[in-house]
Amino acid sequence: MALRTAASSVTTNPTGTQANNAAASSSSTLSPTRTYTLAPTGTVPAGYLQTSGSSIVNSSGDVITLHGVNLGGWLEIEDWMCGITDTTDDSGPHPYRQSFISAQDFVNIAALGFNLIRLPFSYLNLQNPDGTWRPDAYTLLDWAVSQAAANGIYIILDLHSWATQAENYTLISTNTNAGEAARQQAQTLWTNITTHYLNNPTILAFDLINEPVGSYANYLPRALYAAIRSIDPHRILLLEAFSAPPSQYDFHQVAYSFHEHKMESLDFATNKAVWAANKTTIESYLNFPAPFYMGEFMAVNETLAYLLQQMNSLGVAWTMWTWKAVDMADWAFHNYPHYPVTYRVNINTDSYESILETWQGLGSINATRNDDLVNMYSPYI
C-alpha cells in the first residue's frame, strides 16, 4: 500500500480510513496521492561519504571513523536540560539561540578529536505553524554547517520535532488518512532541505525522524526515503524504528540507528545485560550488510567506558548526548551553572527583560567544562 517501486518512480499511497497498525485490512484498494520520480544516479558529488557494506567510506574507499556529539537543546529547545521551565518558542534566531552555541563551540568540539555533530532541529525552525516558510529558515542551520565545515566536522541533520508530534506523537506512523497527511508534511520539509543542501559534502546524513514508533508496513521511512531520493540519490539516510533489510524496499545508502537511554543507572551488571541485547540487534544490521550509528546515549563511570569500548569494537559511529546544557552534570561536556548565577528562566512568569538578560548572558561566559567526562571519553574518540 504505502509505497511501491515501478520503473523509475516511487509512489506514496494514501492509507485509507482503516484502524491503524496491523488491524488495517490488506485487501483495501487505495489510489496514489503523491508520486516521486527517482533522481538519476549520476556521479557521487565530491566529498560525499558513502556506505560500503557495514562501513562508511570516503571516495577512495577508506573507512571513516565517526565519533561526536549532539548539539541538543540549541535549535530544538528542551526545557529539562536548557534551564527553561516552559518552551513556547521553537522558531528562528533569538537571544537564546544566538548565545547558547557559538563559533568557539565548533572549535572546541574539533579540539577534542570529534569529527561528527548530530544537529537536532524542529520543523518550526524552518516553517511557521501554518506550514509557510520562514524568511530566516536556514539562517542558523547554514551557520552551523559552515562552522562545522571550517573545523573539519561532518553534520547529521536530525528532524527532532515534526508538525503533528505535540498533538499526537504516533499519528505520523499510522495507517490513516491523517497519518498520510502528516507524512506528506514531513516529505515537503525534507524535499526542501534536500534541495537546499544538495551536493554539500559537510552533511554526512539526514536522520529522517527522531525516535518514531514503528509504522504500519514501514510507511514512514519509505515515504521520507522516496521524497529525498527524488532529489538526492547519494545522501546517506538514517533509519530509526526500522529493522527490514535495505533490499526489501530497494533502499540504497542507508544506515540503521537507535538510541541507548537504558544504561544510565549505576548498576553495571544490569547495564551490561542491556548492551548484550543491543549488540545482537546491531550485529543483525551490520550483517545485512549496513552501517549502524548510535545517535544518542548517556552513561557514567564503568558503564560509559564499557559502552564506548563495545561500540568502537563493532566499528559503529556514535554521537553522545549532549555537548552543552544548563546544570546537567554528566549529561553534557559543558554546563552553564545554576549557582551563583542562575541561567534558568520561567517563560510563563519571568519578565521579558529578565529572560533577555539571562539568555544574553549565556554568550558572555564560558560554560564550565566537565573535565571528568572529557577524560572518560578521550581514550575512545
For 110-119, what is the mean pLDDT? Answer: 98
Q: Is residue 254 one of the residues assigned to a domain?
A: yes
Q: Is residue 2 one of the residues assigned to a domain?
A: no
Q: Is residue 21 one of the residues assigned to a domain?
A: no
> Rg of the Cα trace of the chain?
21
Q: Is residue 256 one of the residues assigned to a domain?
A: yes
Nearest Cα to Cα of residue 156 among 105, 115, 110, 119: 119
Which three three-digit cell numbers place residue 240?
530509526
Residue 161: pLDDT over 60: yes
Predicted model pTM: 0.90
pLDDT tens digits, 36-45: 888 888 889 9
CATH number for position 348: 3.20.20.80
Number of folded domains in the chain? 1
Q: Give CA–CA dist 99/118, Å, rounded.
A: 19
Q: Choose between 281 and 357: higher pLDDT.
A: 281
Q: Give CA–CA dist 319/323, Å, rounded.
A: 10
pLDDT tens digits, 183-224: 999 999 999 999 999 999 999 999 999 999 999 899 999 999
Q: Is residue 354 one of the residues assigned to a domain?
A: yes
Residue 110: pLDDT over 90: yes
Percentage of the chain beyond pLDDT 70 is: 88
Q: How high is the pLDDT of residue 93?
A: 62
Residue 31: pLDDT over 90: no
Q: How high is the pLDDT of residue 94?
A: 75
Percentage of the chain beyond pLDDT 90 is: 73
Q: Is residue 166 one of the residues assigned to a domain?
A: yes
Residue 340: pLDDT over 90: no
Burial class (CB in 10 A: 0-12, 13-18, 19+), 125: buried
Nearest Cα to Cα of residue 208 among 228, 182, 192: 228
Q: Is residue 39 one of the residues assigned to a domain?
A: no
pLDDT tens digits, 51-86: 999 999 999 999 999 999 999 999 998 888 988 876
Q: Is residue 29 one of the residues assigned to a domain?
A: no
CB 376, CB 305: distance < 8 Å: yes
CB 176, CB 16: distance < 8 Å: yes
The set of residues, in sequence order, having a beta carbon less than 8 Å from that of 80 and lying 6+ positions away, is none
Q: How high is the pLDDT of residue 249?
A: 96
CB 343, CB 330: distance < 8 Å: no
CB 52, CB 253: distance < 8 Å: no
CB 51, CB 205: distance < 8 Å: no
DSSP state letter for 36: E
Q: Give CA–CA dist 40/11, Å, rounded.
A: 16
Which three three-digit cell numbers place residue 10?
516511487
CB 324, CB 73: distance < 8 Å: yes
Residue 102: domain span: 58-380
